[in-house]
Amino acid sequence: MKPFLPLALAALLPALAAADGLEPGDLVKVTMKGIGAAEQEKVNGEYKVGEAGGVRLPMLSAPVNAKGLTAEQFARAAEAAYKADGIYTSPAIEAEVAKGKIVNNGPDAVSVGGRVRRAGDAPYRQGLTVVQALNAAGGRDDFAGRNVMLIRAGTSYWLDYSNLKHKNIVLLPNDALQVEPRGAITDGWKGNDEMVKPLLK
């Protein structure tokens, strides 16, 4: 019977790995290092594992498989995907299961639209920020401007995406974000400090 013991253990390992690995609906926090801050911003954020087990990361041509992987294994897979697509030559990615409760993708989701790569609902969780919600939508596209409209409880606020404080504003359930296109001549901020001030508290 002894020769069969290693085979039995080997058969159990995949099941054990899958039990501890990422599953559809999980959130993964991705942090890119080793590149410029502007490029990091395009990738850094929290992403949901889709129903098919993949995670759509900015600029990649296809989802990165995450189902059954540990956070470390997913990070290596994401690095390989960026290399394979010729986007980054030596990306250094850290990944972890994001903390915070996902409410759902229904009425409590944050709506993201305008000049983003994938318009739609971003899953809401406690502490979700403007930049994280936009990253969940694949990030801003090549024609995006600095103006982002936040619609909350029937009131509109113009945010300045070039302002770090504005990007880190914490969102609420049912908020909506609309990224405006870049101006043909100038791309000035449409808002004012007094209007945004209550959101920065």
What was the pLDDT predicted at 20? 62
What was the pLDDT predicted at 137? 87
78 residue type, one letter: A
The edge-to-edge listing of strands for the beta sheet with 27-33 is: 45-48, 27-33, 92-97
CATH number of 110-200: 3.10.560.10
Top-level class of domain 4-97? alpha beta
What was the pLDDT predicted at 124? 85
pTM above 0.75, yes or no: no
Distance CA 54, CA 179 (A): 25
Domains in the chain: boundaries? 4-97, 110-200
Going from the first residue of the chain to its last (201 residues), give the mean pLDDT of each consecutive group of 10, the final group possibly shorter.
42 43 84 82 81 85 91 94 91 79 58 89 87 90 94 91 94 92 86 92 73
